[in-house]
Amino acid sequence: MLNRLTILKSFLWASVGVLAAVSMVRFTRGLGAVTNLSDVSPWGLWIGFDVMAGVALAAGGFVMAATVYIFGLEKYRSCVRPAILTALLGYFAVAVGLLYDLGLPWNIWHPMIYWQHHSVLFEVAVCVMLYLTVLSLEFAPVVLEHPLFGRPIFQRFLKFLRKITIPLVIAGIVLSTLHQSSLGSLFLISPARLHPLWYSSIIYIFYFISAIGLGLMMVVLEGLLTSWFFDHKVRKDLLPGMGIAASVVLWFYVILRLGDLTLRGDLGLAFDGSWQSFLFFFELGMAAILPATLLLFRRVRSSITGMAICAGLTILGMIGYRLDMSIVAFARPEGWGYFPSWAEIAVSVGIVSCCILVFIFFVEHLKVYDEPAHVKPGKPSHDAATLHDLMPSEQASPRRYSLVALMAAVAALFFLPVSGAEPVRTPVSTPRMVEGFSVARQAGDFHALEMCEPGDRPLSAESPIPLFAINGNRNETLVLFNHAGHVDREGGDDSCRLCHHLDLPYDLNSACFECHRDMYEPVSLFDHTLHVQKLNGNDGCTECHPDGREVKDSETSTACVECHLNPEATSVIIKRPDPRWQDAPGYMDAMHDLCVTCHKRRAREEPGRFADLLERCDACHDADYGPMLEEMAPVRNTSRLIVQNGDGH
Amino acid sequence: MIDSPAILIDTTRCVGCEECVAACKEENGLGKDRPWRGQGAIDALSATRNCTVHRRPEDHFVLQQCRHCLEPACVSACLVGAMQKTPEGPVIYDADRCMGCRYCMLACPYGIPRYDWDRAIPFVHKCTMCHHLLIEGGIPACVKACPQEATVFGSRPDLLAEADRRIAGDPDTYIDRIFGEHEIGGTSVLYISDIPLDFLSWKPDLGTEALPDLTWQSLSKVPPMILGMGAFMSGAFWVINRRMKLSSREDEETNA
């Protein structure tokens, strides 16, 4: 029994499965694990689509309620119940979407006790909470009509609800007006970031008007879709009226937006050829200009295809308007764009799927549409190839849908960062220049480098030289490096290629991390697994953790130097964190190889001149330097320093 | 505690030693840097850095931190009052109230509030001007740590006078402007500089209007809106309903 509805439901259940998988990671590992949000894009798809667009898509509820109950246009009464149901589900979707987006979702009720009436968001939150209540009461009669609620107490409540219909509808309209427009007011606070084509002091009017147009079109489209899926008769007589109403509202919206731009004197921005100007017209054209124009034609208004296309255009365009405001036209630094991760998209799709499933459930079991949903009895199948077809449909379908959802969830888990957010590679600054001295050591022709202490300069006879303080991994294991001395000793400007990659034509400075991929990964020098192996498994714990009761961390453990008395840099120190990084050794390995190989060779070739000191870790890694990194002042103006030639090692 | 506490940052004196950052990290227990997307550099502001020193071309250094606006956008944005303008002046964050909507991050024209993206229980992080020290009569950790007196602490009028004095004393070096004197209604962290500081805000010129005023223009319309819309809808219902009843009665009468 594979009809349209079955395929739709299978897809929806699969989305719900993926949603379940993403939810697990989202709520245990945090926002960063599943989203592409960052400090420069604090709001993403979940706000832009689930909340901003979700509220607008649910606007059909108050529009149809006003049309029928207040303005008495009785012929549209059949649209009211589906519109209210869509609105109710839409607002539930908004609330659920918020639970995903809020960093501390368990505090979602805080606006009830902490009132901050200067915040637009507070007004939105209160209105949405109240409206959700109003919508539930408006829809409750549909549920209470079901025979399941035949007991007198329910019937008395039903009678009461019917009595207060009109006050409820008016409250719903007032609340909707307030928060539909206030969603736009949210952006009034950021004139610095929102592009002037979208920023206006009357955003709230745009939001309200566009919500009305969008609400009408949603009612049209979902009417057409339910007819298609449930084989209802389409109420063609209602289409032209709704079409003309939508056309008027959309034209009003277009004129307001263009008029506002003209009055502000920013109309030129819409024609300056920037991507924002194209986006502006694309969005406005799709949401309003094109459908509003099409709807002027009687043929379009009275045809199902025509209305479906117009409704689709407006819905996509208005979703686009909300997304543009909250994401696309919102300024970010160069190179830090935002595009939702697949998991963010999966959550949005999943929540919408849940809503559609509930919608279908209500349509199938309650009197949402005048015409009860006919679920066509499936043909008795004797195809043994599909086992489920041997079962009665009411047993087969739950199993089928559960299987689909479960499989989708398992599949999704494979692609999710179950272990949590991974820190992101971010460029660090180039080595800092500091002032220091080259101090002769007793063994051989060896100089140690020392940084200037703040009061050193007048006391010292030598002039300070500029040194690099290399701290590539920013883990406070700093190395001082006398670049000028090396240049001089190795043969001046011709010697660069001895250490640097200069063999790529036209490649003046490829950043190190482009090849040495682990450069900015947080790494630890210490390999615990290796130590466990070398110290005979669990028997060796106490070697490093003498007191088993204490927390085992670097503070409480035996210091490395107590065993490694004479540490030498002999082989690879850091393992590649990931086999993908085969293209180049890690940054620290590369640096060690570069320096240590040369140092060792020198020590071997000229043992008299360079003592074996040169190949030991502490030749460069002086234990004193760690804390000094915070204290040292960088060289302000390198040109005033005298570079002393020949002050190498 | 002094009236309207403020910080004056003189970028010409900053040598970029990051003593202030180290002191801030220690005082506020921020821990090691955890790089995250969108920071631009690991040493930019982040959940682990409430203040940071930017290296600008030609070895100029600029300390970036919360400006503690006189009329802060983040405070007006926060729907549960987790961002608070204390009566003393600093803008502080109450983690117990926060629900994590991040509207404050969107509202701040200087992009100051940062988030614990990699944590399952995340909070907003920003400079509090070491409010806990101020109320005990202390001064902010960053100011105390600065070896160059590039950041000084004092009351806002005093610091404005001091800034004027420094600019007047060396007009060739300084740009003739105290950054934060009038911007978006004035800020408590003031800058004087020999280089433009446009990069510290989302837009070069933020104007002098306080940002909360912009949203208040819309919010103040809420009560009249409730009354107006409610009255209009009730009136419309009453009129239309009455007409419909009358016309149906007429129909009945004519039928009868």
Over residues A468-481, mean pLDDT = 68
Higher-pLDDT residue of A648 and A609 is A609
Measured between CA atoms, how close is A484 to chain B, in angstroms?
20
Using DSSP's 3-state secondary structure scheme, residue B54 falls into strand
Q: How far is CA A316 from CA A85, A203, A323, in A?
A: 21, 19, 10
Distance CA A422, CA A416 (A): 12
In A520-579, the residues whose Cβ lies within 8 Å of chain B are 520, 522
The vertex-B228 CA angle with B225 and B234, nearest 5°, equals 130
Instruction: Confirm if B126 and B110 have CB atoms less than 8 A apart.
Output: no
Over residues B99-124, mean pLDDT = 92
B151 membership: H or E segment, kind and range: strand B151-155
> Which residue in A378, A369, A470, A427 sits closest to A83, CA to CA?
A369
How does residue A507 score in pLDDT terms, banded at 50, 70 and 90? very low
Chain A residue closest to B202 (CA)? Answer: A192
Contact B36 A32 (CB under 8 A): yes
SS3 content of chain A, % helix, strand, coil (to 5): 60, 5, 35
> Which residue in A396, A591, A403, A521 sits closest to A2, CA to CA?
A396
Distance CA A626, CA B121 (A): 32
Fold designation for B5-215: Alpha-Beta Plaits (3.30.70)
Which pairing describes strands B60-64 and B52-56: parallel, antiparallel, or unpaired? antiparallel
> Any CB–CB contact under 8 A between A164 and chain B?
no
Amino acid at A219: V
Task: Name the residue facing A189 among B38, B73, B121 (closest C-beta).
Answer: B73
Q: What is the pTM (predicted TM-score) of this model?
A: 0.76
Chain A residue closest to B117 (CA)? Answer: A32
Instruction: Confirm if A191 and B200 have CB atoms less than 8 A apart.
Output: no
Contact B218 A637 (CB under 8 A): no
The vertex-A88 CA angle with A87 and A89, nearest 5°, equals 90
- Reading the block at residue B113, the tokens are 């509030």
> Does residue A638 surpass a pLDDT of 50?
no
Contact B35 A424 (CB under 8 A): yes
In A265-294, the residues whose Cβ lies within 8 Å of chain B are none
How does residue B74 score in pLDDT terms, banded at 50, 70 and 90? very high
Q: Which residues does chain A have within 8 Å of residue B34's beta carbon, measured at their own beta carbons?
A: 423
Distance CA B50, CA B143 (A): 14
- Reading the block at residue A463, the tokens are 């002039």
B165 contacts: CB under 8 Å, gap ≥ 6: none
> Does residue B203 surpass a pLDDT of 50?
yes
Contact A120 B37 (CB under 8 A): no
> Which residue in A22, A96, A27 sits closest to A343, CA to CA?
A22
> Which residue in B160, B155, B179, B189 sits closest to B67, CA to CA?
B189
> Any CB–CB contact under 8 A between A513 and chain B?
no
> Does residue A633 surpass a pLDDT of 80?
no
Instruction: Confirm if A98 and A111 have CB atoms less than 8 A apart.
Output: no
Q: How far is CA A293 from CA A260, A282, A306, A316, A409, in A?
A: 21, 15, 12, 16, 44
Which DSSP state fits A404? H
Mutate to test the interface with B, among A69, A119, A187, A212 (most CBs of B within 10 A): A119
Residue B219's CB: how many other CB atoms inside 10 A? 21
Distance CA A134, CA A111 (A): 18
Cα A322 to its chain centre, rounded Å, is 17
Contact A336 B37 (CB under 8 A): yes
In A436-495, the residues whose Cβ lies within 8 Å of chain B are 454, 474
Contact A121 B55 (CB under 8 A): no
Over residues B7-31, mean pLDDT = 86
- Start-to-end CA distance of chain B, whole Å, equals 88
> Does residue A174 surpass a pLDDT of 90?
yes
pLDDT of amino acid A482: 84
Task: Name the residue facing A178 among B100, B118, B226 (closest C-beta).
Answer: B226
Over residues A373-393, mean pLDDT = 49
> Which residue in B150, B35, B220, B193 sits closest to A424, CA to CA?
B35
Instruction: Confirm if B11 and B150 have CB atoms less than 8 A apart.
Output: yes
Q: Which residues does chain B have within 8 Å of residue A204's beta carbon, measured at their own beta carbons?
A: 218
Which DSSP state fits A75? G
Q: How many residue pairs from chains A and B have C-beta atoms closer than 8 A? A: 247
Residue with tokens 């805080």: A110
Measured between CA atoms, how close is B168 to chain A, in angstroms?
24
Contact B106 A193 (CB under 8 A): yes
Distance CA A292, CA A297 (A): 10
Q: How far is CA A528 from CA A446, A540, A541, A549, in A?
A: 35, 12, 11, 19
Distance CA B253, CA B256 (A): 5
Higher-pLDDT residue of B231 and A493 is B231
Measured between CA atoms, how close is B224 to chain A, in angstroms?
11
Q: Which residues does chain B have within 8 Å of residue A429's beta carbon, measured at their own beta carbons?
A: 41, 43, 55
Largest CA distance in chain B: 100
> Any CB–CB contact under 8 A between A17 and chain B?
no
Q: What is the pLDDT of residues A545-600, one digit of tens each?
A: 887 777 777 677 887 767 776 554 444 555 555 554 445 566 666 777 777 777 77
Over residues A465-492, mean pLDDT = 75
pLDDT of amino acid A631: 46
Q: Where are the domains of chain A?
A: 14-415, 432-525+573-640
Higher-pLDDT residue of A108 and A534 is A108
DSSP A331-375: ---TT------HHHHHHHHHHHHHHHHHHHHHHHHS-SSSSPP--
Task: Name the residue facing A32 among B39, B118, B214 (closest C-beta).
Answer: B118
Over residues A500-504, mean pLDDT = 56
Which DSSP state fits A6? H
Amino acid at A232: H
How does residue A613 score in pLDDT terms, banded at 50, 70 and 90? low
> Which residue in A412, A24, A26 sits closest to B120, CA to CA?
A26
Measured between CA atoms, how close is A599 to chain B, in angstroms?
31
Distance CA A326, CA A186 (A): 10
Contact B42 A333 (CB under 8 A): no
The vertex-B64 CA angle with B58 and B69, nearest 5°, equals 135
How does residue B28 score in pLDDT terms, banded at 50, 70 and 90? very high
Q: How far is CA A83 from CA A66, A145, A220, B39, in A?
A: 11, 18, 10, 44
Lowest mean pLDDT among A59-68, A288-297, A384-393: A384-393
Amino acid at B182: H
Lowest mean pLDDT among A407-416, A511-520, A638-647: A638-647
Using DSSP's 3-state secondary structure scheme, residue A380 falls into coil
Q: What ipTM was reported for this prediction?
A: 0.92
Q: Which residues does chain A have within 8 Å of residue B118's beta carbon, measured at their own beta carbons?
A: 30, 32-33, 420-421, 423
pLDDT of amino acid A107: 94
> What torsion do the CA atoms of A88, A90, A96, A101 make, to the nearest 10 degrees?
-150
Q: Which residues does chain B have within 8 Å of residue A331's beta carbon, measured at their own beta carbons?
A: 202-203
Distance CA B80, CA B83 (A): 8
> Which residue in A99, A132, A83 sits closest to A351, CA to CA?
A99
> Any CB–CB contact under 8 A between A111 and chain B?
yes
Residue with tokens 């079901």: A146
- Reading the block at residue A86, the tokens are 């869509």
Which segments of A452-602 are extended strands (E)? 465-470, 479-481
Contact A110 B80 (CB under 8 A): yes
Mutate to test the interface with A, among B15, B75, B79 (most CBs of A within 10 A): B79
B166 contacts: CB under 8 Å, gap ≥ 6: B10, B174, B192
Contact B233 A39 (CB under 8 A): no
- Reading the block at residue A7, the tokens are 């395929």
Contact B19 A630 (CB under 8 A): yes
pLDDT of amino acid A371: 61
Over residues A148-161, mean pLDDT = 89
> Does residue B193 surpass a pLDDT of 70?
yes
Mutate to test the interface with A, among B80, B123, B222 (most CBs of A within 10 A): B80
Classify B32 in phi/psi space as left (phi over 0), alpha (psi -120 to 50) or beta.
beta
> Any CB–CB contact under 8 A between A65 and chain B?
no
Measured between CA atoms, how close is A311 to chain B, in angstroms?
27
Measured between CA atoms, how close is A510 to chain B, in angstroms?
17
> Which residue in A250, A255, A257, A273 sits closest to A325, CA to CA?
A257
Measured between CA atoms, how close is A628 to chain B, in angstroms?
11
Distance CA A36, CA A46 (A): 11
Q: What is the pLDDT of residues A211-268, one digit of tens each?
A: 999 999 999 998 898 888 887 788 888 888 999 999 999 999 999 999 999 999 888 8
Q: What are phi and psi for residue A468, nearest 5 degrees?
A: -85, 135
B4 contacts: CB under 8 Å, gap ≥ 6: B89, B155, B156, B157, B188
pLDDT of amino acid A508: 45
Measured between CA atoms, how close is B198 to chain A, in angstroms?
12
How does residue A645 score in pLDDT terms, banded at 50, 70 and 90? very low
Measured between CA atoms, how close is A472 to chain B, in angstroms?
12
Q: What is the pLDDT of residues A182-212, one digit of tens each?
A: 999 999 999 989 999 999 999 999 999 999 9
Residue with tokens 């949590």: A420
Contact B36 A39 (CB under 8 A): yes
Contact A174 B233 (CB under 8 A): yes
Task: Name the residue facing A429 among B17, B55, B206 (closest C-beta).
Answer: B55
Task: Name the residue facing A429 among B43, B218, B233 (closest C-beta).
Answer: B43
Task: Name the residue facing B214 among A188, A474, A630 (closest C-beta).
Answer: A188
pLDDT of amino acid B105: 94
Helix ranges (DSSP H) in B54-155: 73-77, 103-107, 131-134, 141-145
- Reading the block at residue B175, the tokens are 């740009």
Task: Name the residue facing B229 among A174, A333, A636 (closest C-beta).
Answer: A174
Residue B183's CB: how many other CB atoms inside 10 A? 24
> What torsion do the CA atoms of A408, A412, A413, A414 make, to the nearest 10 degrees?
110
